[in-house]
Structure 1
Amino acid sequence: GDILSLGPNAGRILARWGLHDRLWAVCGHHPGLNLHNHLGELVRFQKSEQPMFGAYSYNGHRAEIHGILFEHALELGVNIRMGEEVAEYWEDDARGASGVTLMGGEELEADVVVAADGVRSFARKFVLNYQDRPKPSGYAVYRAWFDAAEQGVDKDPLTRHMVTDGDVFYGWIGQDVHMLTSSNLGGKTISWVITHKDDTGLLDTSSLPGKMEDVLKIVQGWDPRCAAILSKAPECVDWKLTVHDPLPTWISKSGRIILIGDAAHPFLPTSAQGASQAIEDGVTLAVLLQLAGKQNVPVALQAWEKIRYQRVRDSQVMGESTRDKWHQAKPEDKGEKLDMPRPAWLFAFDAEAHAYEVYDDIREEIEREGYSLPTLA
């Protein structure tokens, strides 16, 4: 969506890279989630904790957070080429090499290729050796981000509460629907997202222009603040949510091309962990490649898969359970049972430290018993 949420499990990594101040400046700082039933009765206030488990969360506009990470990569000397399209992935086991061929015919060779090409990954076919496609989740979201003053949010008594006292975070839950909205940057911008049932089949694109009349139909009979906030958006996106059964592997046959992030394990928005798990993926992989060295890239990737596979699945399931409990809640349901989960196993985790701690044992296990496809508990 428009908001990129990074939990403390990712936040501790980004702070370690020296990015806290830059990220903090572009993120929202609400006191907590005001959760209502669809009629507008407050059923739970879940206080925001900053820091949590010794690290900060960051929630801001996707483009601004991407920009900070992009600039950081350039500062480190990373060569980033925009507008290039991969025509083919390849690996040469005999030479211990892998690479890509670009649409223009240029060939790029490396010790390892990390394919972070999203839920509709082109690399996935090479890694799996068959065409695997995402499937509709049965849900879609409408989402928007806009300037509060330009859209008169402060002038409407039904929306004024979004901008009069700094950043705020509101939610409404009903049968098969939930809506979340927040103000950011001291009430200067508004974002909203509304998740609803959708039986559209798999399309060539996940993102379409939304129709406001369709959005407003979803909240007919709801707290009038919902329609008021939704209708302030000058436009919105209709985003079809797709899911994947767990892939049998994330590693190519010769162990030199790897799927990472949404290409390996797409997340639902209710997990608020898609970006965080991708960062965990990346830092874990970096540690293992450092420890293994160029001569042992396949072992590093196999160890990475073993470390990440179950943890990622547990995080995905948490997002599904959050959606289901909100969508099945009765109007009279109240209290802590409606909270967004903040388990220590997820948020207190230090992916970098963990990778350093467990690599040698996992490497020895792989060398002793050989590589096998990952399994889930």
Structure 2
Amino acid sequence: MSLRVAIVGGGLGGLAAALHLRRIGVDAVVYEQAPALREVGAGVMIAPNMVRLITRLGLGDALARCAVWLEEAWEYRRWADGEILSVQPMGEACERMYGANVHTAHRADLLAMFQSALPAEAVHLDHRFVALEQDDAEVQLTFAHRTGGETKVRADAVIGADGIHSAVRPLIVTEVEPHFCRLSAFRALIPVEKAPDYARRRIQTIWVGPGRHVVHYPVSGGRLVNVVAIVPAGEWLLESWTADGDLSEFAVEFETWDEKVRQLVAAAPSTKRWALYDRSPLERWTSGRVTLLGDAAHAMLPFFAQGAGQAIEDAAVLARCLREADRDSVPKALLSYEATRRPRASRVQLMSRGRADYNHLPDGPAQRERDAGLRDGDFLRHSAWLYSHDVDTEPLLH
């Protein structure tokens, strides 16, 4: 009889885990509290380490249909006048070095792509995780429903893939208060026909300036332009990807910036806003037959654009560790998964911390030194530690 794995959370990480596990014959089922699958947030960068894993799931063609293949990435521009500080060619060069190119996509498109690859019985909606009990033999989970009542589920392993505010995580490790970074993010999606011409290109552009920066790139096959602007938080303390922001406040943040940025902000039909909180690496992910995955395990600031990529890597390694496991050896397999993944995910977490300071330097000597480094840098090669890493061939630790 195949292993039974219950995955709490139906985001990108949870669905990816189900796909990787079912691919090796594990009976993996996702339990999502919402009445329909939906991915909060908007754009996501899909780096080569993530593209390769999606392709190995047989979803390369589906990714090509919903994502945008970037001609270039990391086009850095100066805040005041739009001066191009650096342009990193991608495309064929990235393919040669890493076996895949960088893509951009709407998170909802990726979620739909993963869901379509799973059988209907592998995803159960309206299941809000309430509690679990485990013994040496199995885990029993309790889920509540919006209409009332509860459902009990038995599994050989439980994967907490329920995001930054995970309900599973406190059962494994003592919760630590997140650190407020004093920054917030405005997010907007602009129909491509309403976006400025320069923002329609298949390029990720990063505008850097004193105390704030703006990132934009096309998503949804080029039909939309995703915009994310990191600014001082002020009184905005809410950590929610679904909270509405104020367009007039968004505009004020960039009223002294280059006209191209002001045009981009003015084209936004609406905006969301959330506060950015930093989280340190957890001391452990696993307790017996229960472990964590994705943001539940290693929530990170968005400045390295690796949150989704690290969740997909988690899913692939988890499947490798459970491939040869039987019911008795599940706890050992989960510890191997944690030992293999936690160092790398923690490194990405910690490296994401200092990026805001780098992007937000005030005009002066440090800013000029940074800009000189941007002009002379080879970001594609400098990203080898991220992009060339192959979780399907790395040694599993114990």
TM-score under structure 1 length normalisation: 0.84
Take 2:77 and 2:291, find their aligned partners in 1: how far apart are those partners?
Answer: 42
**One-letter amino acid of the structure 2 residue matched with residue 127 of structure 1:** I
- Structure 2 residue 199 is the aligned partner of structure 1 residue 162: yes
Q: Pick the aligned partner of 1:270 from 290, 303, 307.
A: 303
Q: Pick the aligned partner of 1:29 from 69, 72, 85.
A: 69
Q: Pick the aligned partner of 1:258 from 291, 308, 319.
A: 291
Superposition deviation, residue 276 in structure 1 = 0.6
- Give the direction of change, closer, same or farther, for the CA distance of 1:338–1:23 in structure 2 (3 Å limit): same
Q: Pick the aligned partner of 1:304 from 321, 337, 354.
A: 337
Aligned residue number for residue 92 of structure 1: 135
Three-state SS of the structure 2 residue aligned to 1:351 is coil
Take 1:328 and 1:339, find their aligned partners in 2: how far apart are those partners?
Answer: 19
Indicate if the aligned counterparts of 2:69 and 2:101 stay in contact, CA closer than 8 A.
no
Aligned residue number for residue 66 of structure 1: 111
Indicate if the aligned counterparts of 1:34 and 1:171 stay in contact, CA closer than 8 A.
yes
Indicate if the aligned counterparts of 2:236 and 2:275 stay in contact, CA closer than 8 A.
no
**One-letter amino acid of the structure 2 residue matched with residue 48 of structure 1:** M
Indicate if the aligned counterparts of 2:70 and 2:102 stay in contact, CA closer than 8 A.
no
Aligned residue number for residue 12 of structure 2: none
Superposition deviation, residue 341 in structure 1 = 7.8
Q: Pick the aligned partner of 1:20 from 60, 70, 82.
A: 60
- Structure 2 residue 388 is the aligned partner of structure 1 residue 345: no
Superposition deviation, residue 60 in structure 1 = 0.5
Take 2:197 and 2:131, find their aligned partners in 1: how far apart are those partners?
Answer: 52
Aligned residue number for residue 46 of structure 1: 88
Three-state SS of the structure 1 residue aligned to 2:274 is strand
How far does the alpha carbon of each residue in 1:275-312 deviate from its partner, in whole angstroms, 9 at most, with x for none? 11101111101110112332211111111111111111
Greater shift after overlay, 336-345 or 178-187?
Answer: 336-345
- Give the direction of change, closer, same or farther, for the CA distance of 1:297–1:329 in structure 2 (3 Å limit): farther
Q: Pick the aligned partner of 1:139 from 162, 183, 195.
A: 183
Superposition deviation, residue 180 in structure 1 = 1.0
Indicate if the aligned counterparts of 1:116 and 1:262 stay in contact, CA closer than 8 A.
yes
Structure 1 segments unaligned to the other structure (5+ residues): 154-158, 364-377
Superposition deviation, residue 90 in structure 1 = 1.9
**One-letter amino acid of the structure 2 residue matched with residue 81 of structure 1:** H
Map 1:271-286; keep pairs closer than 5 Å. 271-286=304-319
Aligned residue number for residue 374 of structure 1: none
**Could you tell me the percent identity over the aligned residues?**
27
Take 2:357 and 2:302, find their aligned partners in 1: how far apart are those partners?
Answer: 13
Greater shift after overlay, 269-278 or 240-249?
Answer: 240-249
Take 1:186 and 1:17, find their aligned partners in 2: how far apart are those partners?
Answer: 21
Aligned residue number for residue 9 of structure 1: 49
Superposition deviation, residue 31 in structure 1 = 2.1
Indicate if the aligned counterparts of 2:185 and 2:275 stay in contact, CA closer than 8 A.
yes
TM-score under structure 2 length normalisation: 0.80
Number of aligned positions between the proteins:
342
Take 1:223 and 1:179, find their aligned partners in 2: how far apart are those partners?
Answer: 12
Take 1:47 and 1:218, find their aligned partners in 2: how far apart are those partners?
Answer: 30
- Structure 2 residue 312 is the aligned partner of structure 1 residue 295: no
**One-letter amino acid of the structure 2 residue matched with residue 351 of structure 1:** V
- Give the direction of change, closer, same or farther, for the CA distance of 1:6–1:148 in structure 2 (3 Å limit): closer
Structure 2 segments unaligned to the other structure (5+ residues): 1-40
